[in-house]
Structure 1
């Protein structure tokens, strides 16, 4: 390996999630690369620190409350977005209505007269 090891490879190595061939290649690289060896020690330290964390039991109603607050916050933030979109769409909506009315005028008022103009010229 010429390049440094990725964080994913180092993490998988620390977790023992590699196939024997992959593990062997990484160990060969680590033997000759001080930078990756230092990063490996950091990953080992992170894993050791995480292992010291205590698992906490969440009270029954707490998750329901958190989900409700997140839903309310999502609705609050989501309602701001359509308002902006409505303003932008309102402009284009006006143009579309204007174009439709102009097209209707051309079709229903001018088009019937086109036939008359042809017969008047003969």
Structure 2
């Protein structure tokens, strides 16, 4: 289990170092996750016996504990959140609507291209003009 944890922490450290040294506008842990993905694809070991998979499964079984710091942060900044509730709600609803519209647009584009490649005039159940 220690070996798997060292792999995870090593990839995060390497990702942070790469992000700092290159100056790319991506957080170091994100670069570390990409490095970990590349390492896992290159190594291709057994699923259950791989120490990285064992540590990942352990962390996933205790995922609820990772929400404690976020909950503490909400409690600490509750006065600030109460003062800025309108902009926060607008930002949350706006980003949700924008994400929903983007997914719908991409899906309709995908379905249109899929129907064109299949040689049909429209999507199933769609009336042809």
| TM-score, length basis structure 1 | 0.29
Please state which structure has a larger fraction of its residues in helix: 1
